[in-house]
Amino acid sequence: MTRTRATLAAAGLLLLCTAAAGADKQAEGAKPLRDLYYGDVLYHYYQDQDFDALTRLMTARAQNHPQANDAEGELLLAGLLLSFGQTRDAIAGFEHGLQTETRPDKRNQAWLSLARALHQRDANPEALAALKHIDAPLEDDLEADRQMLTAELLIGAGRYDEAASTLQNWKGSRDWMSYARYNLGVALLRAGRTAEGEKQLEQVDHSDLQAEEQQALRDRANTALGYSYLQARQWDAARTALRRVRLAGPSSNQALLGLGWAESGLEHDRDALVPWMELASRDTGDLAVQEALLAVPYAMARAHAPTAAADQYLVAVNRYEQQVQQLAGLGAAVAKPAFVDRLLAASEQQGDAKTDPGKPIAPLDHLPDAPEYRALAKLIASDGFQAGLHNARRLAFLKQHLAGWSQRVAVLKTSAPSANWSAQSARIAQLSDACERMLARQRSALQDQAAAELQRTGQRLREYQTEARFGQARLLDRSATAPAAGKRP
Protein backbone atom coordinates (compact mmCIF):
# COMPACT_ATOMS: atom_id res chain seq x y z
CA MET A 1 0.00 0.00 0.00
CA THR A 2 1.28 3.41 -0.70
CA ARG A 3 -0.01 6.75 0.35
CA THR A 4 2.12 9.17 -1.68
CA ARG A 5 5.12 7.72 0.03
CA ALA A 6 7.64 9.95 -1.71
CA THR A 7 5.91 13.08 -0.41
CA LEU A 8 5.57 11.74 3.09
CA ALA A 9 9.15 10.57 3.24
CA ALA A 10 10.45 13.89 1.96
CA ALA A 11 8.37 15.74 4.53
CA GLY A 12 9.55 13.37 7.21
CA LEU A 13 13.19 13.87 6.32
CA LEU A 14 12.74 17.63 6.34
CA LEU A 15 11.15 17.39 9.78
CA LEU A 16 14.04 15.24 10.88
CA CYS A 17 16.71 17.59 9.64
CA THR A 18 14.92 20.75 10.71
CA ALA A 19 14.46 19.31 14.17
CA ALA A 20 18.13 18.44 14.07
CA ALA A 21 19.19 21.83 12.74
CA GLY A 22 17.25 23.65 15.42
CA ALA A 23 18.18 26.90 13.78
CA ASP A 24 14.80 27.60 12.23
CA LYS A 25 13.75 30.85 13.84
CA GLN A 26 10.15 30.05 13.38
CA ALA A 27 10.46 26.75 15.26
CA GLU A 28 9.51 26.88 18.89
CA GLY A 29 12.48 26.54 21.22
CA ALA A 30 14.92 26.75 18.30
CA LYS A 31 18.55 27.00 19.26
CA PRO A 32 20.33 30.21 18.21
CA LEU A 33 22.95 30.08 15.51
CA ARG A 34 26.44 29.90 17.04
CA ASP A 35 28.46 29.26 13.94
CA LEU A 36 28.37 31.29 10.72
CA TYR A 37 29.76 28.38 8.71
CA TYR A 38 26.99 26.10 9.95
CA GLY A 39 24.57 28.86 8.98
CA ASP A 40 25.99 28.72 5.45
CA VAL A 41 25.24 24.99 5.39
CA LEU A 42 21.65 25.77 6.31
CA TYR A 43 21.53 28.47 3.61
CA HIS A 44 21.96 25.77 0.97
CA TYR A 45 19.90 23.16 2.81
CA TYR A 46 16.88 25.45 3.08
CA GLN A 47 17.04 25.98 -0.68
CA ASP A 48 16.98 22.22 -1.34
CA GLN A 49 20.61 22.27 -2.46
CA ASP A 50 21.37 19.10 -0.55
CA PHE A 51 24.69 18.23 -2.17
CA ASP A 52 26.09 21.71 -1.58
CA ALA A 53 24.84 21.57 2.00
CA LEU A 54 26.41 18.15 2.49
CA THR A 55 29.84 19.09 1.17
CA ARG A 56 29.89 22.36 3.11
CA LEU A 57 28.89 20.56 6.28
CA MET A 58 31.60 17.94 5.88
CA THR A 59 34.12 20.73 5.31
CA ALA A 60 32.89 22.72 8.31
CA ARG A 61 33.21 19.65 10.51
CA ALA A 62 36.75 19.01 9.26
CA GLN A 63 37.60 22.64 10.05
CA ASN A 64 36.25 22.18 13.61
CA HIS A 65 33.45 24.68 13.42
CA PRO A 66 31.50 24.10 16.64
CA GLN A 67 27.86 23.82 15.62
CA ALA A 68 28.73 21.64 12.65
CA ASN A 69 30.27 19.16 15.05
CA ASP A 70 27.66 18.98 17.78
CA ALA A 71 24.57 16.79 17.92
CA GLU A 72 22.59 19.07 15.59
CA GLY A 73 25.29 19.00 12.97
CA GLU A 74 25.65 15.27 13.28
CA LEU A 75 21.95 14.66 12.73
CA LEU A 76 21.83 17.07 9.80
CA LEU A 77 24.81 15.28 8.29
CA ALA A 78 23.05 11.95 8.74
CA GLY A 79 19.93 13.29 7.03
CA LEU A 80 21.91 14.69 4.11
CA LEU A 81 23.85 11.45 3.72
CA LEU A 82 20.57 9.58 3.62
CA SER A 83 19.24 11.82 0.88
CA PHE A 84 22.42 11.03 -1.07
CA GLY A 85 21.81 7.30 -0.79
CA GLN A 86 24.46 6.73 1.88
CA THR A 87 22.14 4.55 3.93
CA ARG A 88 24.74 2.81 6.08
CA ASP A 89 26.59 5.99 7.04
CA ALA A 90 23.30 7.77 7.66
CA ILE A 91 22.01 5.11 10.01
CA ALA A 92 25.30 5.09 11.93
CA GLY A 93 25.11 8.87 12.15
CA PHE A 94 21.56 8.81 13.47
CA GLU A 95 22.39 6.14 16.01
CA HIS A 96 25.31 8.18 17.27
CA GLY A 97 23.65 11.58 17.09
CA LEU A 98 20.42 10.53 18.75
CA GLN A 99 22.29 9.14 21.76
CA THR A 100 22.77 12.72 22.94
CA GLU A 101 19.21 13.82 22.19
CA THR A 102 17.70 13.88 25.64
CA ARG A 103 14.17 14.78 24.63
CA PRO A 104 12.42 11.45 24.06
CA ASP A 105 9.70 12.90 21.85
CA LYS A 106 12.28 14.48 19.51
CA ARG A 107 14.35 11.33 19.51
CA ASN A 108 11.45 9.05 18.74
CA GLN A 109 10.14 11.41 16.08
CA ALA A 110 13.53 11.39 14.42
CA TRP A 111 13.56 7.58 14.34
CA LEU A 112 10.13 7.54 12.74
CA SER A 113 11.17 10.02 10.05
CA LEU A 114 14.32 8.03 9.37
CA ALA A 115 12.32 4.82 9.07
CA ARG A 116 9.99 6.39 6.56
CA ALA A 117 12.85 7.80 4.52
CA LEU A 118 14.53 4.36 4.50
CA HIS A 119 11.28 2.71 3.42
CA GLN A 120 11.01 5.17 0.55
CA ARG A 121 14.50 4.09 -0.52
CA ASP A 122 13.53 0.40 -0.39
CA ALA A 123 15.80 -0.21 2.63
CA ASN A 124 13.04 -2.05 4.48
CA PRO A 125 14.97 -4.19 6.99
CA GLU A 126 16.84 -1.04 8.03
CA ALA A 127 13.53 0.81 8.32
CA LEU A 128 12.16 -1.86 10.67
CA ALA A 129 15.36 -1.67 12.71
CA ALA A 130 14.97 2.11 12.98
CA LEU A 131 11.41 1.73 14.26
CA LYS A 132 12.66 -0.56 17.00
CA HIS A 133 14.53 2.42 18.50
CA ILE A 134 11.22 4.13 19.33
CA ASP A 135 10.84 3.52 23.02
CA ALA A 136 7.54 5.25 23.85
CA PRO A 137 4.23 5.97 22.14
CA LEU A 138 4.35 9.10 20.00
CA GLU A 139 1.74 11.84 19.85
CA ASP A 140 -1.55 10.95 18.18
CA ASP A 141 -1.04 11.24 14.42
CA LEU A 142 2.61 10.30 14.67
CA GLU A 143 1.76 7.16 16.61
CA ALA A 144 -0.82 6.23 13.97
CA ASP A 145 1.84 6.87 11.31
CA ARG A 146 4.31 4.64 13.17
CA GLN A 147 1.83 1.80 13.44
CA MET A 148 0.90 2.10 9.77
CA LEU A 149 4.51 2.09 8.63
CA THR A 150 5.36 -0.83 10.91
CA ALA A 151 2.46 -2.82 9.51
CA GLU A 152 3.46 -2.06 5.89
CA LEU A 153 7.00 -3.19 6.58
CA LEU A 154 5.87 -6.35 8.38
CA ILE A 155 3.51 -7.23 5.52
CA GLY A 156 6.39 -6.74 3.10
CA ALA A 157 8.50 -9.08 5.25
CA GLY A 158 5.78 -11.74 5.29
CA ARG A 159 5.15 -11.29 9.03
CA TYR A 160 1.40 -11.08 8.66
CA ASP A 161 0.25 -11.94 12.16
CA GLU A 162 2.55 -9.30 13.61
CA ALA A 163 1.28 -6.77 11.09
CA ALA A 164 -2.30 -7.56 12.03
CA SER A 165 -1.52 -7.19 15.75
CA THR A 166 0.07 -3.80 15.09
CA LEU A 167 -3.06 -2.50 13.41
CA GLN A 168 -5.74 -4.08 15.60
CA ASN A 169 -6.06 -1.03 17.86
CA TRP A 170 -5.07 1.54 15.29
CA LYS A 171 -6.46 4.98 15.96
CA GLY A 172 -5.79 7.61 13.36
CA SER A 173 -7.52 10.28 11.34
CA ARG A 174 -10.56 9.49 9.24
CA ASP A 175 -8.59 9.97 6.04
CA TRP A 176 -6.19 7.24 7.08
CA MET A 177 -8.75 4.80 8.43
CA SER A 178 -9.42 3.19 5.07
CA TYR A 179 -5.71 2.60 4.51
CA ALA A 180 -5.37 1.07 7.95
CA ARG A 181 -8.34 -1.23 7.33
CA TYR A 182 -6.97 -2.24 3.96
CA ASN A 183 -3.55 -3.07 5.40
CA LEU A 184 -5.12 -4.94 8.29
CA GLY A 185 -7.42 -6.83 5.96
CA VAL A 186 -4.56 -7.88 3.69
CA ALA A 187 -2.41 -8.91 6.67
CA LEU A 188 -5.22 -11.02 8.10
CA LEU A 189 -5.95 -12.69 4.77
CA ARG A 190 -2.32 -13.55 4.23
CA ALA A 191 -2.09 -14.88 7.77
CA GLY A 192 -4.91 -17.25 6.90
CA ARG A 193 -7.42 -15.42 9.13
CA THR A 194 -9.81 -15.12 6.28
CA ALA A 195 -13.07 -14.19 7.99
CA GLU A 196 -11.39 -11.42 9.97
CA GLY A 197 -9.62 -10.12 6.89
CA GLU A 198 -12.76 -10.11 4.82
CA LYS A 199 -14.57 -8.13 7.52
CA GLN A 200 -11.91 -5.40 7.43
CA LEU A 201 -11.90 -5.18 3.63
CA GLU A 202 -15.70 -4.92 3.58
CA GLN A 203 -15.34 -1.87 5.83
CA VAL A 204 -13.02 -0.20 3.33
CA ASP A 205 -15.76 -0.40 0.74
CA HIS A 206 -18.23 1.25 3.09
CA SER A 207 -16.15 4.38 3.50
CA ASP A 208 -17.49 7.36 1.62
CA LEU A 209 -14.17 8.90 0.64
CA GLN A 210 -14.20 10.05 -2.94
CA ALA A 211 -10.72 11.20 -3.91
CA GLU A 212 -9.19 9.19 -6.75
CA GLU A 213 -6.53 7.63 -4.54
CA GLN A 214 -9.17 6.48 -2.07
CA GLN A 215 -11.42 5.11 -4.80
CA ALA A 216 -8.45 3.17 -6.09
CA LEU A 217 -7.94 1.85 -2.57
CA ARG A 218 -11.58 0.75 -2.42
CA ASP A 219 -11.09 -1.08 -5.73
CA ARG A 220 -8.03 -2.85 -4.35
CA ALA A 221 -9.92 -3.84 -1.23
CA ASN A 222 -12.83 -5.24 -3.23
CA THR A 223 -10.44 -7.09 -5.52
CA ALA A 224 -8.57 -8.62 -2.56
CA LEU A 225 -11.93 -9.51 -0.99
CA GLY A 226 -13.20 -11.04 -4.20
CA TYR A 227 -10.13 -13.23 -4.57
CA SER A 228 -10.37 -14.32 -0.96
CA TYR A 229 -13.95 -15.45 -1.59
CA LEU A 230 -12.85 -17.17 -4.80
CA GLN A 231 -10.26 -19.14 -2.90
CA ALA A 232 -12.96 -20.23 -0.46
CA ARG A 233 -15.23 -21.09 -3.42
CA GLN A 234 -17.82 -18.58 -2.21
CA TRP A 235 -18.72 -17.68 -5.75
CA ASP A 236 -21.68 -15.44 -5.05
CA ALA A 237 -19.85 -13.38 -2.45
CA ALA A 238 -16.86 -13.09 -4.82
CA ARG A 239 -19.10 -11.86 -7.61
CA THR A 240 -20.70 -9.26 -5.35
CA ALA A 241 -17.33 -7.90 -4.25
CA LEU A 242 -15.75 -7.88 -7.71
CA ARG A 243 -18.74 -6.17 -9.33
CA ARG A 244 -18.01 -3.17 -7.08
CA VAL A 245 -14.65 -2.55 -8.76
CA ARG A 246 -14.63 0.24 -11.33
CA LEU A 247 -14.39 -0.87 -14.96
CA ALA A 248 -11.56 1.56 -15.61
CA GLY A 249 -8.89 1.73 -12.97
CA PRO A 250 -5.69 0.07 -11.84
CA SER A 251 -7.57 -2.95 -10.39
CA SER A 252 -10.06 -3.43 -13.21
CA ASN A 253 -8.19 -6.14 -15.13
CA GLN A 254 -7.65 -8.25 -12.05
CA ALA A 255 -11.28 -7.78 -11.03
CA LEU A 256 -12.62 -8.73 -14.47
CA LEU A 257 -10.59 -11.91 -14.39
CA GLY A 258 -11.89 -12.79 -10.94
CA LEU A 259 -15.46 -11.93 -11.87
CA GLY A 260 -15.30 -14.38 -14.73
CA TRP A 261 -14.10 -17.11 -12.37
CA ALA A 262 -16.93 -16.31 -9.95
CA GLU A 263 -19.49 -16.70 -12.74
CA SER A 264 -17.78 -19.86 -13.89
CA GLY A 265 -17.85 -21.20 -10.33
CA LEU A 266 -21.62 -20.64 -10.35
CA GLU A 267 -21.70 -22.55 -13.67
CA HIS A 268 -22.85 -19.40 -15.47
CA ASP A 269 -20.40 -19.96 -18.32
CA ARG A 270 -22.05 -17.61 -20.76
CA ASP A 271 -22.09 -14.90 -18.07
CA ALA A 272 -18.39 -15.59 -17.44
CA LEU A 273 -17.70 -14.71 -21.06
CA VAL A 274 -18.82 -11.11 -20.53
CA PRO A 275 -15.97 -9.95 -18.27
CA TRP A 276 -13.48 -12.31 -19.89
CA MET A 277 -14.11 -11.13 -23.43
CA GLU A 278 -13.90 -7.52 -22.28
CA LEU A 279 -10.58 -8.35 -20.63
CA ALA A 280 -9.30 -10.30 -23.64
CA SER A 281 -9.81 -7.21 -25.79
CA ARG A 282 -7.26 -5.24 -23.72
CA ASP A 283 -3.48 -4.99 -24.00
CA THR A 284 -1.84 -8.41 -24.17
CA GLY A 285 1.06 -7.06 -22.11
CA ASP A 286 -1.07 -7.37 -18.97
CA LEU A 287 -0.98 -10.63 -17.01
CA ALA A 288 -4.73 -10.75 -16.39
CA VAL A 289 -5.37 -10.26 -20.11
CA GLN A 290 -2.99 -13.12 -20.91
CA GLU A 291 -4.99 -15.37 -18.59
CA ALA A 292 -8.27 -14.19 -20.08
CA LEU A 293 -7.11 -15.36 -23.52
CA LEU A 294 -7.20 -18.92 -22.12
CA ALA A 295 -10.29 -18.36 -20.01
CA VAL A 296 -12.50 -17.31 -22.97
CA PRO A 297 -12.18 -20.59 -24.91
CA TYR A 298 -12.43 -22.52 -21.64
CA ALA A 299 -15.81 -20.91 -20.95
CA MET A 300 -16.94 -21.44 -24.55
CA ALA A 301 -16.09 -25.12 -24.35
CA ARG A 302 -18.07 -25.45 -21.13
CA ALA A 303 -20.95 -23.62 -22.78
CA HIS A 304 -21.04 -26.33 -25.45
CA ALA A 305 -19.52 -24.20 -28.18
CA PRO A 306 -16.45 -26.30 -29.05
CA THR A 307 -15.89 -24.88 -32.50
CA ALA A 308 -15.86 -21.31 -31.22
CA ALA A 309 -13.65 -22.43 -28.35
CA ALA A 310 -11.13 -24.05 -30.69
CA ASP A 311 -11.04 -20.86 -32.77
CA GLN A 312 -10.43 -18.79 -29.65
CA TYR A 313 -7.56 -21.06 -28.59
CA LEU A 314 -5.99 -20.36 -31.95
CA VAL A 315 -6.52 -16.61 -31.43
CA ALA A 316 -4.79 -16.99 -28.07
CA VAL A 317 -1.86 -18.90 -29.60
CA ASN A 318 -1.39 -16.16 -32.18
CA ARG A 319 -1.64 -13.29 -29.68
CA TYR A 320 0.87 -14.96 -27.38
CA GLU A 321 3.18 -15.44 -30.34
CA GLN A 322 2.92 -11.78 -31.30
CA GLN A 323 3.71 -10.76 -27.73
CA VAL A 324 6.68 -13.14 -27.54
CA GLN A 325 8.09 -11.75 -30.79
CA GLN A 326 7.64 -8.22 -29.52
CA LEU A 327 9.49 -9.07 -26.32
CA ALA A 328 12.31 -10.72 -28.24
CA GLY A 329 12.84 -7.43 -30.04
CA LEU A 330 12.86 -5.55 -26.74
CA GLY A 331 15.69 -7.69 -25.39
CA ALA A 332 18.10 -6.05 -27.84
CA ALA A 333 16.94 -2.53 -26.87
CA VAL A 334 17.35 -3.24 -23.17
CA ALA A 335 20.88 -4.55 -23.70
CA LYS A 336 22.09 -1.15 -24.93
CA PRO A 337 23.47 1.45 -22.44
CA ALA A 338 21.02 3.94 -23.94
CA PHE A 339 18.17 2.06 -22.22
CA VAL A 340 19.26 3.44 -18.84
CA ASP A 341 20.63 6.73 -20.18
CA ARG A 342 17.25 7.66 -21.68
CA LEU A 343 15.58 7.01 -18.32
CA LEU A 344 18.14 9.23 -16.60
CA ALA A 345 17.58 11.97 -19.18
CA ALA A 346 13.80 11.66 -18.74
CA SER A 347 14.11 11.96 -14.96
CA GLU A 348 16.14 15.17 -15.38
CA GLN A 349 13.25 16.78 -17.19
CA GLN A 350 10.63 16.00 -14.59
CA GLY A 351 9.15 18.28 -12.02
CA ASP A 352 10.96 21.55 -11.41
CA ALA A 353 14.32 22.42 -12.85
CA LYS A 354 16.25 21.44 -9.71
CA THR A 355 18.56 18.55 -10.42
CA ASP A 356 20.30 18.35 -7.08
CA PRO A 357 21.35 14.70 -7.05
CA GLY A 358 21.11 14.75 -3.29
CA LYS A 359 17.35 14.92 -3.52
CA PRO A 360 15.22 11.86 -4.26
CA ILE A 361 13.62 11.93 -7.70
CA ALA A 362 9.93 11.19 -8.02
CA PRO A 363 8.88 8.04 -9.87
CA LEU A 364 8.73 8.66 -13.56
CA ASP A 365 5.46 10.22 -14.61
CA HIS A 366 6.27 10.00 -18.28
CA LEU A 367 8.46 7.24 -19.60
CA PRO A 368 10.38 7.69 -22.84
CA ASP A 369 8.08 6.90 -25.72
CA ALA A 370 9.39 3.50 -26.81
CA PRO A 371 8.00 -0.05 -26.53
CA GLU A 372 10.66 -1.35 -24.14
CA TYR A 373 9.67 1.26 -21.54
CA ARG A 374 5.96 0.60 -21.95
CA ALA A 375 6.50 -3.13 -21.53
CA LEU A 376 8.61 -2.61 -18.41
CA ALA A 377 6.62 0.26 -16.87
CA LYS A 378 5.76 -1.69 -13.74
CA LEU A 379 9.36 -2.73 -13.14
CA ILE A 380 10.66 0.80 -13.79
CA ALA A 381 8.20 2.21 -11.24
CA SER A 382 9.22 -0.34 -8.59
CA ASP A 383 11.17 0.85 -5.56
CA GLY A 384 14.22 -1.30 -6.28
CA PHE A 385 14.58 -0.11 -9.88
CA GLN A 386 14.05 3.51 -8.88
CA ALA A 387 16.73 3.16 -6.22
CA GLY A 388 19.11 1.95 -8.93
CA LEU A 389 18.22 4.89 -11.17
CA HIS A 390 18.84 7.33 -8.31
CA ASN A 391 22.23 5.76 -7.78
CA ALA A 392 23.10 5.98 -11.46
CA ARG A 393 22.12 9.63 -11.48
CA ARG A 394 24.27 10.38 -8.44
CA LEU A 395 27.24 8.55 -9.94
CA ALA A 396 26.88 10.49 -13.19
CA PHE A 397 26.76 13.72 -11.20
CA LEU A 398 29.84 12.77 -9.17
CA LYS A 399 31.75 11.93 -12.32
CA GLN A 400 31.03 15.43 -13.59
CA HIS A 401 31.85 16.94 -10.21
CA LEU A 402 35.24 15.23 -10.19
CA ALA A 403 35.92 16.52 -13.68
CA GLY A 404 35.27 20.01 -12.34
CA TRP A 405 37.72 19.46 -9.50
CA SER A 406 40.30 18.15 -11.94
CA GLN A 407 40.18 21.45 -13.82
CA ARG A 408 40.24 23.51 -10.63
CA VAL A 409 43.23 21.64 -9.25
CA ALA A 410 45.08 22.11 -12.55
CA VAL A 411 44.62 25.87 -12.14
CA LEU A 412 45.47 25.82 -8.44
CA LYS A 413 48.73 23.98 -9.12
CA THR A 414 50.00 27.06 -10.91
CA SER A 415 48.18 29.85 -9.04
CA ALA A 416 48.59 28.45 -5.51
CA PRO A 417 51.34 25.84 -5.65
CA SER A 418 51.40 23.24 -2.94
CA ALA A 419 53.06 19.90 -2.59
CA ASN A 420 49.64 18.41 -1.89
CA TRP A 421 48.05 19.08 -5.26
CA SER A 422 49.80 16.27 -7.11
CA ALA A 423 48.62 13.70 -4.60
CA GLN A 424 45.09 15.08 -4.84
CA SER A 425 45.21 15.03 -8.62
CA ALA A 426 46.08 11.37 -8.48
CA ARG A 427 43.17 10.72 -6.12
CA ILE A 428 40.81 12.59 -8.41
CA ALA A 429 41.92 10.54 -11.41
CA GLN A 430 41.65 7.26 -9.53
CA LEU A 431 38.17 7.99 -8.21
CA SER A 432 36.99 9.30 -11.58
CA ASP A 433 37.90 5.97 -13.13
CA ALA A 434 36.25 4.09 -10.28
CA CYS A 435 33.13 6.21 -10.70
CA GLU A 436 32.97 5.45 -14.42
CA ARG A 437 33.27 1.72 -13.72
CA MET A 438 30.63 1.85 -11.00
CA LEU A 439 28.25 3.73 -13.27
CA ALA A 440 28.72 1.03 -15.89
CA ARG A 441 28.04 -1.63 -13.25
CA GLN A 442 24.89 0.15 -12.09
CA ARG A 443 23.70 0.54 -15.64
CA SER A 444 24.35 -3.13 -16.22
CA ALA A 445 22.49 -4.14 -13.05
CA LEU A 446 19.43 -2.19 -14.18
CA GLN A 447 19.63 -3.76 -17.61
CA ASP A 448 19.89 -7.20 -16.02
CA GLN A 449 16.76 -6.53 -13.99
CA ALA A 450 14.93 -5.48 -17.14
CA ALA A 451 16.21 -8.50 -19.07
CA ALA A 452 15.18 -10.85 -16.23
CA GLU A 453 11.70 -9.35 -16.28
CA LEU A 454 11.43 -9.79 -20.04
CA GLN A 455 12.63 -13.37 -19.71
CA ARG A 456 10.04 -14.12 -17.02
CA THR A 457 7.31 -12.60 -19.12
CA GLY A 458 8.37 -14.47 -22.25
CA GLN A 459 8.48 -17.72 -20.34
CA ARG A 460 5.01 -17.22 -19.01
CA LEU A 461 3.69 -16.44 -22.47
CA ARG A 462 5.22 -19.65 -23.84
CA GLU A 463 3.57 -21.61 -21.03
CA TYR A 464 0.22 -20.06 -21.83
CA GLN A 465 0.75 -20.71 -25.52
CA THR A 466 1.42 -24.37 -24.77
CA GLU A 467 -1.79 -24.51 -22.72
CA ALA A 468 -3.71 -22.95 -25.60
CA ARG A 469 -2.31 -25.46 -28.10
CA PHE A 470 -3.21 -28.35 -25.84
CA GLY A 471 -6.67 -26.92 -25.27
CA GLN A 472 -7.25 -26.58 -28.98
CA ALA A 473 -5.86 -30.06 -29.68
CA ARG A 474 -8.13 -31.63 -27.05
CA LEU A 475 -11.19 -30.02 -28.59
CA LEU A 476 -10.24 -30.98 -32.12
CA ASP A 477 -9.43 -34.51 -31.00
CA ARG A 478 -12.77 -34.79 -29.22
CA SER A 479 -14.72 -33.57 -32.21
CA ALA A 480 -12.79 -35.93 -34.51
CA THR A 481 -13.58 -39.01 -32.40
CA ALA A 482 -17.18 -38.11 -31.48
CA PRO A 483 -19.76 -40.19 -33.31
CA ALA A 484 -21.38 -38.31 -36.22
CA ALA A 485 -25.11 -37.57 -35.76
CA GLY A 486 -27.32 -40.43 -36.94
CA LYS A 487 -24.47 -42.94 -37.51
CA ARG A 488 -24.11 -46.04 -35.47
CA PRO A 489 -20.88 -46.19 -33.37
If DSSP states are collapsed to H, E and C, what string results for the chain? CCCCHHHHHHHHHHHHHHHHHCCCCCCCCCCCCCCHHHHHHHHHHCCCCHHHHHHHHHHHHHCCCHHHHCHHHHHHHHHHHHHCCCHHHHHHHHHHHHHHCCCHHHHHHHHHHHHHHHHHCCCHHHHHHHHCCCCCCCCHHHHHHHHHHHHHHHHHCCCHHHHHHHHHCCCCCHHHHHHHHHHHHHHHHHCCCHHHHHHHHHHHHHCCCCCHHHHHHHHHHHHHHHHHHHHCCCHHHHHHHHHCCCCCCCCHHHHHHHHHHHHHHCCCHHHHHHHHHHHHCCCCCCHHHHHHHHHHHHHHHHCCCHHHHHHHHHHHHHHHHHHHHHHHHHHHHHCCCHHHHHHHHHHHCCCCCCCCCCCCCCCCCCCCCCHHHHHCHHHHHCHHHHHHHHHHHHHHHHHHHHHHHHHHHHHHHHHCCCCHHHHHHHHHHHHHHHHHHHHHHHHHHHHHHHHHHHHHHHHHHHHHHHHHHHHHHHHHHHHHHCCCCCCCC
Tell me the closest approach of the beta carbon of residue 449 to another protein, in angstroms. 5
Cβ of residue 301: shortest distance to another protein, in angstroms? Answer: 19
Pick 338 or 451: Cβ nearer another protein: 451
Kindly state the smallest distance separating residue 459's Cβ from another protein, in Å. 5
Contact set for another protein, span 10-69 (CB under 8 A) = 23-26, 30, 33, 36-37, 39-40, 42-47, 54-55, 58-59, 62-63
Interacting residue with another protein among 362, 377, 452, 473 (CB under 8 A): 452
- Which residues within the stretch 325-344 sit at the binding site for another protein (CB under 8 A)? none
- Report the nearest approach of another protein to the CB of residue 270 (Å): 30
Q: How many residues bind another protein (CB under 8 A)?
A: 69
Touching another protein, residues 103-142 (CB under 8 A): none
| Closest distance of CB 75 from another protein, Å | 16
Q: Is 96 in the site for another protein (CB under 8 A)?
A: no
x/- track of binding to another protein for residues 365-394 (CB under 8 A):
-------------------x--xx--x--x
Among the candidate windows 80-88, 166-174, 249-257, 344-352, which touches another protein by CB under 8 A? 80-88
Kindly state the smallest distance separating residue 80's Cβ from another protein, in Å. 10
Exactly one of 73, 85, 172, 260 binds another protein (CB under 8 A); that residue is 85
* Closer residue to another protein in complex, CB, 54/148: 54
Interaction pattern, residues 394-433, with another protein; x per rule: CB under 8 A? xx--x--xx--x--xx--x---x-x-xx--x--xx--x--
Residues lying near another protein in the complex (CB under 8 A) are found at 23-26, 30, 33, 36-37, 39-40, 42-47, 54-55, 58-59, 62-63, 84-89, 384, 387-388, 391, 394-395, 398, 401-402, 405, 408-409, 412, 416, 418, 420-421, 424, 427-428, 431, 434-435, 438, 441-442, 445-446, 448-449, 451-453, 455-456, 459-460, 462-463, 466, 470
